[in-house]
Structure 1
């Protein structure tokens, strides 16, 4: 059986995903009600942004807790490289 893999950031990520779920449900309702394409596109943007933010938080949390836990404490140059790597994940 797989051991639970829970981090302190997971409740915040769940909250973001629930928000995305609410935006998606609203989008479906908007389409069914015949709302304008502009309104639907704006709502889809909100869905996409919420999922993107959840993904970013998950990846950065993984880097902080899983990757660093695997390699151990980082020295100055290694810390700088890790910080740059975390920063570049913004563009995923």
Structure 2
């Protein structure tokens, strides 16, 4: 549960949703490729694309959070609490 006053929706969220929907489609393609017994190199290439897409989405989300939610960290009543939230989200990088 969030303990700060940052809005849960950011400008980057629509782009993130689109990116994740594309990754979802690619992942479905991987499943179909496996069912169709496609070559392993083709499947690995597609999985790599899915992985990269999700990694980019994650980094965008975290960077957006840092830019918009953590920028006020030193101006809060409890900067230590805000720093802990920063440490918490960076473990996902």
Deviations 1:23-82 (A, max 9, x none): 10000000000000000000000110010000000000000001013334xxxxxxxxxx
Aligned residue in 1 for 2:61 = 58
Aligned residue in 1 for 2:26 = 23
Aligned residue in 1 for 2:45 = 42
| Dislocated runs of 4+, deviation >2 Å | 69-72
CA shift, 1:5, in A, is 1.0
Normalising by the residue count of structure 2, what TM-score does the alignment of the two structures yield?
Answer: 0.71
**What value does the CA root-mean-square deviation take over the aligned residues?**
2.0
1:6 aligns with 2:20: no
Give the paired residue count.
Answer: 73
Gaps of 5+ in 1: 73-88
Separation of aligned partners in 2, 1:10 and 1:70:
22
Q: Secondary structure at the match of 1:35?
A: coil
Gaps of 5+ in 2: 76-89
- Structure richer in helix, relative to its length: 1
Aligned residue in 2 for 1:75 = none
